[in-house]
Structure 1
Amino acid sequence: MRRKDRELTAQEGLEIIDACEYGTISCITDEGEIFSVPISVVREEGSVFLHGAPAGSKAKLLNDGRNVTLVCVSYARVPILTDEQLDAIKDDGKALGAKVFTTEYKSAIAETKAYIVTDEAARLRALRLLSEKYTPKYMRTFDVAAAHGLKAMNIYELKIASITAKAKIIRD
């Protein structure tokens, strides 16, 4: 990592995955093309789970230990300064670049191996974890939805091989 001052621990990287609204996965197809798609993710221990249709690009690619890169961002915002703070640095190009014309963020990149989850109990568990993360208010109806939905979806497991994370948070 070039900016060692922004490097976070592997544990903090896992926390970024847990907190992200969505992630993006990327891999190389059999034809040598780049495939990338945003996805909903949930993590349990050293694995990340996602779902998708049983046909299409994800279904074709996310199996047999294919190398997949997962990128997650849990925090991104442009700094908000008061007029007084801006006036104090308005003639300082370096300070303006560092404190105004920038973005604060927390991001993680995980190198993973992808597999289709075939065990029915594991598929149900992963779908439950995804649903608890994204639709916790509606979990009382989960069993009915899962009984129907699992028939028409694949569950994928991305086993984390390595993870790096970094953040830029402006401190006064």
Structure 2
Amino acid sequence: MRRKDRNLDELAALEIIDKCEYAVISCVDDDGRVFSIPISIAREGMSVYIHGAVAGSKARLFKDGKDVKMVCVSYNKVPKHTDAEFEAMKDDGARLGSRVFTTEYKSAIAKTKVYQVTDDANKIEALRLLCKKYTPEYMSAFETAAMHGLKATSIYEFKIQSLSAKAKIL
């Protein structure tokens, strides 16, 4: 990482993963092309889970042990300043670049290996994690939905091999 002053530790990286609305996963397909897709994620320990259809790009690509990178952003904001703050900086190029024409953010990159989850009990637990994150208010109907869609749903576990994270907060 070039900007060591923005480096975050592993605990902060895991928090970014937990708080992101979605992640983008990327890998190389069998033809050497980059495949990237935004996905909903949920983490437990050093594993991140996603769901998908039983057929399609993810089903073709995510062979056990495939290397996949996951990018998560939990915070992204262009800073806002009062008129007085802006007036005090408007003739200072360095301050403008670092405090006005910039973005505050928190991001993490996980290098992972992906594995398909095939055991029904483990698939249900992964689905439970996802639903608790994205639809906690509807968990009373979780069992019905999970049982109905279980056979038509693939679950993938991304085992985190390494993490890096950084932030710029003014």
> Could you say which residue in structure 2 is the equivalent of 1:38?
38
Equivalent runs, 1:139-154 vs 2, <5 Å: 139-154=139-154
Q: In structure 1, give the amino acid aligned to 2:96.
A: L
> Could you say which residue in structure 1 is the equivalent of 2:75?
75
TM-superposed CA distance for 1:64, in Å, is 1.3
Runs of 4+ in 1 over 3 A off after TM superposition: none
- Measured in 2, the distance between the counterparts of 1:156 and 1:130 equals 12
The alignment partner of 2:138 has SS state of: helix
Identity %: 62
The alignment status of 1:91 with 2:67, answered yes or no, reads no
Cα offsets for 1:95-122 (capped at 9, x unmatched)? 0111110000000000000010011111
Query: What TM-score results when the alignment is normalised by the length of structure 1?
Result: 0.98
The alignment partner of 2:87 has SS state of: helix
> Could you say which residue in structure 1 is the equivalent of 2:121?
121
> Could you say which residue in structure 1 is the equivalent of 2:63?
63
- Measured in 2, the distance between the counterparts of 1:160 and 1:98 equals 33
> Could you say which residue in structure 2 is the equivalent of 1:20?
20
The alignment partner of 1:131 has SS state of: helix
TM-superposed CA distance for 1:10, in Å, is 1.0
Q: In structure 2, give the amino acid aligned to 1:69.
A: K
Q: Which runs of 5+ in 1 are unaligned?
A: none
> Could you say which residue in structure 2 is the equivalent of 1:2?
2
- Measured in 2, the distance between the counterparts of 1:63 and 1:48 equals 16
The alignment partner of 2:106 has SS state of: strand
Cα offsets for 1:123-157 (capped at 9, x unmatched)? 00000000000000111111110011112110000
Cα offsets for 1:147-171 (capped at 9, x unmatched)? 111121100000000000000001x
TM-superposed CA distance for 1:11, in Å, is 1.1
The alignment status of 1:161 with 2:161, answered yes or no, reads yes
RMSD (Å) for aligned C-alpha atoms: 0.5
The alignment partner of 2:114 has SS state of: strand
Query: What TM-score results when the alignment is normalised by the length of structure 2?
Result: 0.99
